[in-house]
């Protein structure tokens, strides 16, 4: 008669139900059972931990306090605006940077001057962490930052940045997962063409308007010089641009004289007549192409 | 020789006994209070006081006492000033007087007191009507409770005090009836005599119904959970103690814990064989008495941790419809057995 543990507990439960449903005895049984519960709890070790003496054993990603990864912040102000308590203070100024290409417009950039969270107001909803598009705010497992004064509960950028040290690094991807987008694609370098472009425009400018062919041809030349072997790779590279070239090769629309004259004859103003003539010219070209 | 002279002086003996009783009256509630702090905490899977006095918070109750003394003694403007200030003392004095008559051990073998043999022993005073004295004097506390409730000029205090009075009237009866059955069986009203009568067997065995009634009625008398309607903190703040602060509030608390100790002691003397032990007769009587008082007091704490508070009408129903009739039947049976056997 070997009973499994489940069977035994089920049988005991059944017996207990039977006793508890009896009118007089049931109530008495309930009283005794209550006493046994408190006594058994007393004999078990308490679950309380002696906090200041014994540090609590917290999960790795405990949501203790909000930390700032300063270099990721672009001062977009989303966190500050979404904060239900308005407890995030952000100050910044605009820095003017030299243009990327000579003669272009000077670039501007927001520089973070102050980022402070008033923890006297913060209700730890974490909306700021969720809303940050640049991964500048994190939940840090640190929690011992109380102060003895209300005003000093506003913690500034340097403190918030220090709490970043407690944030564990992101966990490794599981086996077979796709690499993050940043790693899988060829690193798109915005720098190299930007450096190459000035030379291209400088050489091509006198020959033709910059919008048309010179850039592809220059690229082709650069590719050729980079791979002296030429051959098949060179052919493949030269074949790629044409689709773009077709589109960009189109002349700017011109005015169809016939349509213009007709419109003027109808008594239309000059500006409207020009527009109609241009439209007519485009339609004509499209018909000719197809 | 010196000792002989000292103990033959009734005044010296009286002073010594008074000091001993007073010290017991002040320390036992503290120990019980600490046990309640810790026991209650562990029954709720907590640790309770751990800091005061470094080792498991042993000095917590002393720290509490010091805190109570330091606090401002506030008397509300609307209060009846003199009655308000007098009430805690009216509550605590009867409780302390009960300790005078509790016998902790058997009578001394040789006695040099002028009153003769049987006058000396581990007790403050051996009244011939000890049980009568105890039950009468412990009922005085409720007057202090009513004074506190009325003089506070606070509706919660008044409700608490009225509830307390109603509870006392309802539960004094089963308490007295249960105790009188014991007195009947022992054939004496003296607590020492009742203790002596239990040499053969403890009265808890023939008087089991009486013992249960006595414990329930004592709990109600002390307004301890599950019968703490007079101070039901979720309904009427703290009953008659609502307006009290500082040392006066401390006196109320002290009287509550002293009351637990004294009524446990009375129950031990009446039912649990007083100083008579079992299995290990070489352990001295007073130790037995203290151990039994401790066990019974722990039961009071255990009950507090386990059961929720009853409703006021349930409390009254329980006393008048169940406890009193059962206690009367118990007396009747005791009478019959006493006459027949």
For B39, name the nearest residue in chain A, comparing CA atoms only: A42
Comparison of pLDDT for B204 and A225, the residue scoring more: B204
Give the tokens for residue A29: 């049984």
Residue A84, pLDDT > 90, answer yes
B242: left (phi over 0), alpha (psi -120 to 50) or beta: alpha
pLDDT digits (tens, 9 = 90+) for B277-288: 777 777 777 888
To the question of pTM greater than 0.95 for the whole model, the response is: no
CB contact under 8 A, B44 and A34: no
ipTM above 0.95, yes or no: no
| Separation of alpha carbons B49 and A131, rounded Å | 44
Give the tokens for residue B83: 């009655």
pLDDT band at B5 (very low <50, low <70, confident <90, very high): low
Q: Supply the pLDDT for residue A194.
A: 43
pLDDT band at A238 (very low <50, low <70, confident <90, very high): very low
| Separation of alpha carbons A24 and A279, rounded Å | 100
Choose from A24, A37, A42, A49 for mutation: most chain B CBs within 10 A: A42
Residue A17, pLDDT > 50, answer yes
CB contact under 8 A, A39 and B39: no
Pick from B297, B307, B38, B219: nearest CA to A34? B307
| Closest partner CB to A46 (pick from B46, B303, B306) | B46
| Separation of alpha carbons B149 and B238, rounded Å | 11
Give the tokens for residue A27: 């109530």
- A137-140/A65-68 β-pairing: antiparallel
- The answer to whether B147 touches B90, Cβ cutoff 8 Å, is yes
Least Cα separation, residue B247 to chain A (angstroms): 30
CB contact under 8 A, A48 and B43: no
| Closest partner CB to A47 (pick from B39, B43, B45) | B45
- The answer to whether B316 touches B166, Cβ cutoff 8 Å, is yes
Residue B220, pLDDT > 70, answer yes
pLDDT band at A283 (very low <50, low <70, confident <90, very high): confident
Question: Domains of chain A, with CATH numbers?
Answer: 65-166 (3.30.70.3270), 242-290 (no CATH)
| Closest partner CB to A38 (pick from B46, B50, B302) | B302
- The answer to whether A204 touches A218, Cβ cutoff 8 Å, is yes
| Separation of alpha carbons B174 and B176, rounded Å | 6
Helix or strand holding residue B336 (H, E) = helix B324-340
Q: Supply the pLDDT for residue B338.
A: 83
Taking residues A196-207, what's their average pLDDT?
43
CB contact under 8 A, B47 and A48: yes
pLDDT band at B125 (very low <50, low <70, confident <90, very high): confident
In a domain, residue B44? The reply is: no
In a domain, residue B110? The reply is: yes
Residue A18, pLDDT > 70, answer yes
| Separation of alpha carbons B215 and B198, rounded Å | 19
Q: Which residues contact residue A94 at a Cβ distance below 8 angstroms, ignoring those fewer than 6 apart? A: A108, A109, A110, A111
Query: What is the share, in percent, of chain B residues with pLDDT greater than 90?
Result: 16
Comparison of pLDDT for A190 and B186, the residue scoring more: B186
Residue A206, pLDDT > 60, answer no
- Give how many domains chain B has, as a whole number: 1
Residue with the two structure tokens 């169940």? B322
| Separation of alpha carbons B269 and B285, rounded Å | 12
Comparison of pLDDT for B181 and B199, the residue scoring more: B181
In a domain, residue B168? The reply is: yes
Q: Which residues contact residue A110 at a Cβ distance below 8 angstroms, ignoring those fewer than 6 apart? A: A74, A75, A92, A93, A94, A95
pLDDT band at B118 (very low <50, low <70, confident <90, very high): low
Q: Supply the pLDDT for residue A230.
A: 41
Give the tokens for residue B158: 């008044």
Q: Does B298 touch chain A (CB under 8 A)?
A: no
Q: Which residues of A touch B41 (CB under 8 A)?
A: 46
Task: List Cα–Cα distances, A145 to A118, A128, A264, B89, in angstroms.
Answer: 12, 19, 80, 48
Residue A241, pLDDT > 50, answer no
| Separation of alpha carbons B55 and B249, rounded Å | 27
Q: Supply the pLDDT for residue B341.
A: 74
Measured from the Cβ of residue A52, the count of other Cβ atoms closer than 10 Å reads: 7
Q: Does B115 touch chain A (CB under 8 A)?
A: no
| Separation of alpha carbons A90 and A110, rounded Å | 12
pLDDT digits (tens, 9 = 90+) for B318-341: 889 989 999 999 999 988 888 887
Give the tokens for residue A170: 């992101």
In a domain, residue B59? The reply is: no
pLDDT band at B108 (very low <50, low <70, confident <90, very high): low
Taking residues A71-87, what's their average pLDDT?
90
The residue count for chain B: 341
Q: Which domain holds residue B129?
A: 75-340
Measured from the Cβ of residue A204, the count of other Cβ atoms closer than 10 Å reads: 17
Phi, psi of A139 (to 5 degrees): -80, 125
Comparison of pLDDT for A174 and A206, the residue scoring more: A174
Task: List Cα–Cα distances, A284 to A26, A263, A287, B268, in angstroms.
Answer: 99, 17, 5, 118
Least Cα separation, residue B35 to chain A (angstroms): 12
A28: left (phi over 0), alpha (psi -120 to 50) or beta: alpha
At residue B63, the 3 state secondary structure works out as helix
Residue A89, pLDDT > 90, answer yes
Q: Supply the pLDDT for residue A184.
A: 62
- The answer to whether B248 touches B73, Cβ cutoff 8 Å, is yes
Residue A234, pLDDT > 70, answer no
pLDDT band at A86 (very low <50, low <70, confident <90, very high): very high
Mean pLDDT estimate for chain B: 85
In a domain, residue B48? The reply is: no
Comparison of pLDDT for B10 and A47, the residue scoring more: A47
pLDDT band at A235 (very low <50, low <70, confident <90, very high): very low
pLDDT digits (tens, 9 = 90+) for B57-78: 888 888 988 998 999 888 888 8
- A137-140/A88-97 β-pairing: unpaired
Give the tokens for residue B220: 């109600």
Task: List Cα–Cα distances, B228 to B30, B38, B114, B251, in angstroms.
Answer: 20, 20, 46, 18
Taking residues B250-264, what's their average pLDDT?
90
Lowest mean pLDDT among A69-83, A202-216, B180-194: A202-216
Q: Which residues of B touch A47 (CB under 8 A)?
A: 45-46
DSSP B105-148: SPBPSS--STT-TTS-BSSS---TTHHHHHHHHHTTHHHHHHHH
Q: Supply the pLDDT for residue B7.
A: 63
Residue A131, pLDDT > 90, answer yes
Residue with the two structure tokens 């039912």? B271
| Separation of alpha carbons A215 and A196, rounded Å | 10
| Closest partner CB to B47 (pick from A37, A39, A46) | A46
Highest average pLDDT, of A18-27, B105-114, B157-166, comes from B157-166
Residue B189, pLDDT > 80, answer yes
Q: At CB < 8 Å, which residues of chain A contact B? A: 31, 34-35, 37-39, 41-42, 44, 46-48, 50
Residue A233, pLDDT > 50, answer no
Mean pLDDT estimate for chain A: 76
- The answer to whether B95 touches B263, Cβ cutoff 8 Å, is no
CB contact under 8 A, B306 and A48: no
Taking residues A254-263, what's their average pLDDT?
85
pLDDT band at B6 (very low <50, low <70, confident <90, very high): low
Q: Does B307 touch chain A (CB under 8 A)?
A: yes
Q: Which residues of B touch A34 (CB under 8 A)?
A: 306-307
In a domain, residue B52? The reply is: no
| Separation of alpha carbons B66 and B35, rounded Å | 19
Per residue in B120-151, is it b (16+ CB within 10 Å) or e — as a string? bbbbbbbbeebbbbbbebbbebbebbbbbbbb
pLDDT digits (tens, 9 = 90+) for A19-33: 777 777 777 888 888
Taking residues A229-240, what's their average pLDDT?
43
B182: left (phi over 0), alpha (psi -120 to 50) or beta: alpha
Rounded to a whole number of angstroms, the CA Rg of chain A reads 37
Pick from B256, B231, B229, B209: nearest CA to B36? B256
In a domain, residue B3? The reply is: no
CB contact under 8 A, A48 and B44: no
Inter-chain CB pairs, A–B, below 8 Å: 33
> What letter would DSSP give residue B238?
T
In a domain, residue B89? The reply is: yes
Q: Supply the pLDDT for residue B328.
A: 92
């Amino acid at each position: 008669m070997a009973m499994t543990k489940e069977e035994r507990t089920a049988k005991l439960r059944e017996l207990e139900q039977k006793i508890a449903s009896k009118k007089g005895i049931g109530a008495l049984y309930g009283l005794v059972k209550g006493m046994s519960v408190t006594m058994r709890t007393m004999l078990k070790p308490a679950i309380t931990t002696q906090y200041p003496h014994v540090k609590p054993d917290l999960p790795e990603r405990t949501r203790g306090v909000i930390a700032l990864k300063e270099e990721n912040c672009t001062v977009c102000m989303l966190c500050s605006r979404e904060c239900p308590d308005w407890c995030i203070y952000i100050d910044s100024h605009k820095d003017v940077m030299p243009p990327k290409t000579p003669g272009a417009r000077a670039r501007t950039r927001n520089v973070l001057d102050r980022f402070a969270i008033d923890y006297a107001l913060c209700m730890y909803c974490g909306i700021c962490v969720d809303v940050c598009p640049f991964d500048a705010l994190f939940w840090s497992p640190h929690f011992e930052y109380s102060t003895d004064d209300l005003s000093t509960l506003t913690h500034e950028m340097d403190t918030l940045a220090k709490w970043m040290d407690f944030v564990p690094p992101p966990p490794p991807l599981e086996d077979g997962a796709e690499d993050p987008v940043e790693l899988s694609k060829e690193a798109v370098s915005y720098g190299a063409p930007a450096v190459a472009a000035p030379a291209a425009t400088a050489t091509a400018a006198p020959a033709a308007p910059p919008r048309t062919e010179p850039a592809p041809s220059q690229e082709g030349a650069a590719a050729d010089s980079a791979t002296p072997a030429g051959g098949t790779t060179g052919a493949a590279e030269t074949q790629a641009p044409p689709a773009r070239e077709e589109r960009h090769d189109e002349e700017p629309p011109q005015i169809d004289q016939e349509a213009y004259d007709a419109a003027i004859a109808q008594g239309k103003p000059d500006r409207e007549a020009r527009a109609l003539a241009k439209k007519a010219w485009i339609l004509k070209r499209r018909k000719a192409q197809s | 020789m010196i000792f002989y002279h000292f103990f033959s002086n009734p005044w010296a003996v009286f002073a010594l006994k008074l000091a001993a009783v007073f010290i017991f009256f002040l320390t036992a509630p503290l120990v019980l209070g600490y046990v309640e702090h810790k026991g209650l905490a562990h029954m709720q899977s907590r640790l309770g006081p751990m800091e005061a006095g470094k080792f498991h918070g042993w000095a917590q109750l002393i720290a509490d006492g010091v805190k109570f003394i330091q606090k401002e003694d506030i008397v509300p403007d609307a209060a009846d000033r003199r009655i308000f200030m007098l009430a805690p003392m009216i509550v605590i004095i009867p409780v302390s007087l009960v300790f005078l008559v509790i016998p902790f051990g058997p009578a001394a073998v040789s006695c040099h007191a002028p009153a003769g043999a049987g006058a000396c022993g581990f007790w403050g005073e051996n009244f011939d009507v000890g049980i009568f004295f105890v039950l009468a004097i412990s009922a005085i506390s409720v007057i202090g409770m009513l004074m506190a409730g009325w003089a506070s000029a606070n509706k919660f205090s008044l409700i608490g005090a009225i509830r307390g009075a109603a509870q006392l009237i309802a539960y004094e009866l089963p308490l007295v009836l249960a105790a009188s059955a014991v007195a009947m069986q022992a054939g004496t009203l003296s607590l020492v005599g009742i203790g002596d009568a239990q040499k053969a067997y403890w009265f808890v065995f023939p008087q089991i119904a009486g013992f249960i009634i006595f414990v329930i009625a004592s709990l109600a008398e002390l307004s301890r959970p599950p019968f703490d309607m007079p101070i039901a903190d979720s309904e009427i703040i703290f009953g008659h103690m609502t307006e009290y602060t500082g040392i006066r509030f401390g006196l109320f608390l002290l009287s509550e814990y002293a009351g637990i100790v004294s009524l446990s002691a009375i129950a031990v003397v009446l039912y649990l064989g007083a100083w008579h032990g079992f299995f290990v007769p070489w352990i001295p009587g007073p130790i037995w008495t203290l151990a039994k008082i401790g066990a019974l007091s722990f039961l009071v704490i255990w009950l507090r941790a386990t059961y929720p508070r009853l409703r006021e009408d349930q409390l009254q129903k329980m006393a008048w419809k169940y406890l009193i009739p059962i206690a009367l039947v118990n007396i009747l049976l005791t009478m019959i057995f006493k006459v027949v056997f």
